[in-house]
Amino acid sequence: MAVVHVKQHPDLTAEKAMEIFKKGFSGKYVVYKWNRPGSVRDFVVKKSSLIAVAVKLKQEKDKTSFTFVDFIPSALMTFLFVGVLYSLLSRSSYRAMVNEVKTFIENAPEFK
């Protein structure tokens, strides 16, 4: 799990952050609200059915933080264990996606 702290933005909601991500990744990735019950994530940046990053916005006393983790968005792939094999074989793809999300957060003017 990765964490990026940005300047405090008390008015920033998960929905607003998701819209900023949608704009920033438009045409490249699909960004959508996390819909799994009981989840601790707010939204997803999805590259494919096998590579995605789940993002959580956290408002703290003196800063705003994003936590995010890579995952396999297809429940079917995970269920069939194909996801485990894929994860082992393409770890660099997951790292690249996490780094891209991290760089986006650090450089987006809306989060500065």
On whether the CB atoms of residues 95 and 47 are closer than 8 A, the answer is no
* pLDDT for position 92: 80
Please tell me the total count of domains within the chain: 1
Whole-prediction pTM:
0.86
Task: Summarize the confidence of residues 29-47 as an average pLDDT.
Answer: 90
DSSP 33-75: E---TT-S--EEEESSSS-EEEEEEEE-SS-EEEEEEEE---H
φ and ψ at 39, to 5 degrees?
-80, 155
The boundaries of the domain holding residue 95 are 2-111
Cα–Cα dist 100/71, whole Å: 15
Report pLDDT digits (tens) over 42-94: 999 999 887 899 999 999 888 999 999 988 777 655 555 565 666 665 678 88
Query: Which range (31-35, 45-49, 92-96, 98-102) has the least confidence?
Result: 92-96
C-alpha distances in Å from residue 79, one per residue of 17, 75, 83, 91:
30, 6, 8, 19
Structure tokens at 31: 């960004």
